[in-house]
Structure 1
Amino acid sequence: MQWLEKCLDSCKDYPVVVVDNASTDDTVSFIKTNYPNVILFKQEKNLGFGQANNLGIRYALDQGAEHVFLLNQDAYLVDTVLNDLVTFQKKQSNYGILSPVHITGNRKKLDKNFSSFMHEEYSGQFYSDFVLGNTLKDVYEVPFVNAAAWLISKACLETVGGFDPLFFHYGEDDNYCQRVLYHGFKIGVLPQSYVIHDREERPAPIISAYSAVYYNKRENYYKAKFANINVDSQHDKAIKHLRKTILKLKLQLKLSKSNGLKKELSRLIKIKPLIIESRAKNRLPGLHYLK
């Protein structure tokens, strides 16, 4: 609720679909009362980030959309950013995903996570061009940018599909970018177009070792790594390594750590068939997960 008004006001000039993932606050009534033109899909259960987006994407394609823009509820369009993205994607159709620069709520800094995606090893001259006053490129090609503000072309969606249900929340954008690159599209950031990602005041959670959150995070990591169709899967190698580590810890009588890693190993083994299925499907072009 705390972001919705700013988010939806920034999108007022465009057709908007909101997928509500079984929220427990006043989101649904607020939208119905204040934004009657918004298409609202209220879910009875939380589908997760990817599957909720798939519903909105499918609806947009059914209405004849040539481009679909994904926007987090805690993000706001700045000036003509969406027109800029669409205009560029029409000219450069090889860019399946385009993103603006993500800035903080006070407009004084780059979003911290976004900033890390633009390091030299990923984006080339992005920072150097700004600091040294070089002529900025029209677009900076990157292997990944988070999905808080993505413009995806219809051609990309028809080839790559939607978000893989292998992921519930976190990791799905990594996986999608991997698939975009595999199918020959590019991912780019427009350096002079902006979106506000209003999250800098939220503290990062402290994750205790071998807690439920820890195991979920590790599972997402393994899924994103081993479902990457651009490289050979190292799933079996990781299982073997974990088994060796557990045995070593047992011999050292570090039973708490060995038991913790046993649960991690169990999860790693459990997701193996799901990853095999995901890799096989995602290598093929098509409207996967959007039918």
Structure 2
Amino acid sequence: MEVYALIVLYNPDFDSCLSNLYSIRNQVSKVIVIDNSQCEIDKDNFDGIIDFYYFNNNVGGIAQAQNLGIEYALSDGADFILLLDQDSFSSPEMVSILIRDFFKVRNSGFNIAAIGPQAINAESGIPYAPRFRKFSHFDLDSNVLFCNELISSGTLIDISVFKTVGTMNDILFIDGVDHEWCWRAKSYNYILSLTKNASLFHSLGEGDKSFFGIRISISSPFRIYFQYRNFIYLCFQNHVPFYWKVNNFIKYFVKYFYYPIFVSKHYFARINVGIIDGFKLLFLR
């Protein structure tokens, strides 16, 4: 079973990045690194850890970088690809558990495309969980759940699925890339699973803040632009679920005022430009 890990770098903390690579190296067949940093990282620093390195200079964001790695894995005969972020740390035996539970679902007759581990907030140690929807349980294992989307980091994908569903949508650049692919897979009658039998420690945004008891993840002004731009774009895509459009309308409505008032006034301009560019995308496509 050939499993290739794909990690996209963007100006990483080098020691943290190495720890991530070491945590996954012995769990997979090959490690692919796509370097999206503004200045190329010396690949000799990864000697003995990675099997394929490509410097992309962030031309097309994380989606294009992931597509480069996926194309390499497809041409090299991989069976599965494991997507990882540079700041996510896998638990021991995470990959073998993902494979085991993937086939547990498939052998029960389900057309499964991908499976992911339980994501745990690296700062608080608390598992990430959806606020407004519930998972359904797989009958043979209560820790294996059916879900509507997975975050990219830790997601194990049957590489043959890309031939039907296609690769990542590079128009999105960064935010929403993982969820959009999942919804597209579901539109082709695939299912997605999450297993609590495996865990991944993950950092989200620039940290969390509490607002009237609600946890709000803080994104950088760079990211907030793409979040609003891509929200507008995705709202008009038929395969994007209605509950996501409603939930995120509420979330971004709150953040429209919260960020400029409580975080920094500089967010206001970035949010508005993102909204305008989101509508431009619709007319240009």
Q: Same fold (TM over 0.5)?
A: yes
Change (3 A) 1:262 1:54: closer
Contact (CA 8 Å) 1:98, 1:188: kept in 2 or not? yes
CA deviations on 1:25-53 (whole Å, 9 max, x unpaired) are: xx722x42343441111123442111100
Change (3 A) 1:218 1:261: closer
Pairing 1:78–2:91 present: yes
Pick aligned residue for 1:98 from 76, 97, 115:
115
CA distance in 1, matches of 2:129, 2:44: 36
- Quote the residue 1:229 is aligned against: 239
Residue 73 of structure 1: how far off its partner (Å):
0.6
CA distance in 2, matches of 1:266, 1:198: 29
CA deviations on 1:211-267 (whole Å, 9 max, x unpaired) are: 8866543211012221243679xxxxxxxxxxxxxxxxxxxxxxxxxx999967753
CA deviations on 1:96-123 (whole Å, 9 max, x unpaired) are: 110000113368321xxx322xx57231
- Quote the residue 1:178 is aligned against: 183
- Quote the residue 1:109 is aligned against: 126
Change (3 A) 1:17 1:268: closer
Look up the equivalent residue of 1:90 and give its one-letter code. F
Name the SS for the 1:7 alignment partner: helix
Q: Percent identity?
A: 20
The higher relative CO (CA closer than 8 Å, separation ≥ 6) is in 1
Which 5+ residue runs of structure 1 have no aligned equivalent?
127-134, 233-258, 276-291
Name the SS for the 2:96 alignment partner: helix
Residue 273 of structure 1: how far off its partner (Å):
4.0
Q: 5 Å matches for 1:184-195?
A: 184-195=189-200
Contact (CA 8 Å) 2:143, 2:195: kept in 1 or not? yes
Contact (CA 8 Å) 1:97, 1:187: kept in 2 or not? yes
Identify which range, 266-275 or 187-196, moves more after superposition.
266-275
Give RMSD over aligned pairs: 3.3
Pairing 1:144–2:174 present: no
Pairing 1:121–2:133 present: yes
Change (3 A) 1:79 1:214: closer
- Quote the residue 2:173 is aligned against: 168
Which 5+ residue runs of structure 2 have no aligned equivalent?
1-11, 209-216, 243-268
Pick aligned residue for 1:12 from 19, 25, 29:
25
Residue 158 of structure 1: how far off its partner (Å):
1.5
CA distance in 1, matches of 2:177, 2:164: 17
CA distance in 2, matches of 1:198, 1:272: 31
Q: 5 Å matches for 1:238-253?
A: none
Pairing 1:155–2:144 present: no
Contact (CA 8 Å) 1:21, 1:45: kept in 2 or not? yes
TM-score normalized by structure 2?
0.69
Pairing 1:54–2:67 present: yes
Contact (CA 8 Å) 1:71, 1:148: kept in 2 or not? yes
Contact (CA 8 Å) 2:137, 2:143: kept in 1 or not? no
Look up the equivalent residue of 1:51 and give its one-letter code. Q
Name the SS for the 1:22 alignment partner: coil
CA distance in 2, matches of 1:52, 1:261: 25
Name the SS for the 2:156 alignment partner: strand
Change (3 A) 1:261 1:92: closer
CA distance in 2, matches of 1:102, 1:156: 23
CA distance in 2, matches of 1:48, 1:175: 15
Richer in strand (by share): 2
Contact (CA 8 Å) 2:226, 2:274: kept in 1 or not? no
Identify which range, 135-144 or 158-167, moves more after superposition.
135-144
CA distance in 1, matches of 2:272, 2:126: 42
- Quote the residue 1:236 is aligned against: none
- Quote the residue 1:249 is aligned against: none
How many residues align? The count is 231
Pairing 1:33–2:38 present: no
Pick aligned residue for 1:220 from 230, 236, 239:
230
